[in-house]
Structure 1
Amino acid sequence: MQPSAILESALYVADLDAAEAFYADVLGLERIARADGRHVFFRCGAGVLLLFNAEATREPPSPDAKLPVPPHGAAGEGHLCFAATEDEIKRWKAKLGERGVAIEADFHWPPKPGQEQGGRSIYFRDPSGNSLEFAEPKIWGL
């Protein structure tokens, strides 16, 4: 057996309000849940992006918790890549620039076997310093 897809991905943020504003207002994601001081969740295509306050997620659930999710968390900056076409990447680069979001890198990956040219990626940061990327799926041969 093998998993068929990634359903959810998590990043850990220092300021939930700043993260919520960035992912909703700059990236246009739809907020689907929020627990003050703990998390904010967004729909992203067929999956879900989970943004957590790492300190809050390290606390074990109470014995009577309705959702006994085990403690988890991470320290430091994470990474997440959003799929985008070449045209979408051009538009995202312009939109991010208009919103004052610096592009750290913009390049084409080497072609995969059987490809004439590799895909393009742009990298930028969220307010917590997480590294975000828009990339053409063909960087992975998809």
Structure 2
Amino acid sequence: MSRPEINGVLETTVYVDDMDAAHAFYSHILGLKRMVAGDRLFAYDAGPGQALLVFRRGHTGEDVETSGGTVPGHHTSGHSHFAFRISTDQLQPWRDYLKANTVEIISEVVWPAGGTSLYFNDPDGNVLELAAPPLWPNFLS
């Protein structure tokens, strides 16, 4: 039997303590449109067919029953990491924009393949990355 195909990443998740601070950051600083707002989850449009799920830390460990079935409980502790894809010509505008909004770039990496990543923290200390190609062999510009 051949292996079925994977078509990319649909969702990525971050856990936060302060949902209001997270919303201010992801909505107002990064400009993501919130698609779902609940007590334990905010979902943001992170690009065509992609979602950033922001969960309230400590409120997702138990299974959740829905009309369509059970969503298994999940949780993580500590700070997480994820990357947003940007074009190379947006590196300097993002540097300037983050600085103007008092978001400190904690690291900048130029990768062996030639791409560049800007790293910074959200209000809960999660490590976010803005990545310009090429980064990975499968990174399309």
Residue 126 of structure 1: aligned partner: 122
Q: TM-score, normalised by structure 1?
A: 0.88
Relative to total residues, which structure has the larger helix share, 1 or 2? 1
Tell me how many residue pairs correspond in the alignment: 133
Residue 108 of structure 1: aligned partner: 110
CA distance in 1, matches of 2:119, 2:82: 10
1:41-120 aligned at under 5 Å gives the runs 41-46=43-48, 47-62=50-65, 65-66=66-67, 68-111=70-113, 118-120=114-116
Residue 28 of structure 1: aligned partner: 31
CA distance in 2, matches of 1:102, 1:125: 8
1:139 aligns with 2:132: no
Letter in 2 for 1:7: L
Residue 12 of structure 1: aligned partner: 15
Residue 115 of structure 1: aligned partner: none
CA distance in 1, matches of 2:10, 2:121: 23
CA distance in 2, matches of 1:107, 1:33: 33
CA distance in 2, matches of 1:35, 1:120: 35
Give 5+ residue unaligned stretches, structure 2: none
Relative to total residues, which structure has the larger strand share, 1 or 2? 2
CA distance in 2, matches of 1:134, 1:97: 14
CA distance in 2, matches of 1:24, 1:42: 8
Letter in 2 for 1:4: N
Give 1:110 shift.
1.1
CA distance in 1, matches of 2:89, 2:17: 32
Greater CA drift, 1-10 or 16-25:
1-10
Runs of 4+ in 1 over 2 A off after TM superposition: 59-62, 65-68
Q: Indicate conservation of the 8 Å contact 2:111/2:135, yes or no.
A: yes
Q: Cα RMSD (Å) of the superposition? A: 1.2
CA distance in 2, matches of 1:89, 1:134: 8
Q: Indicate conservation of the 8 Å contact 2:27/2:33, yes or no.
A: yes
Letter in 1 for 2:29: V
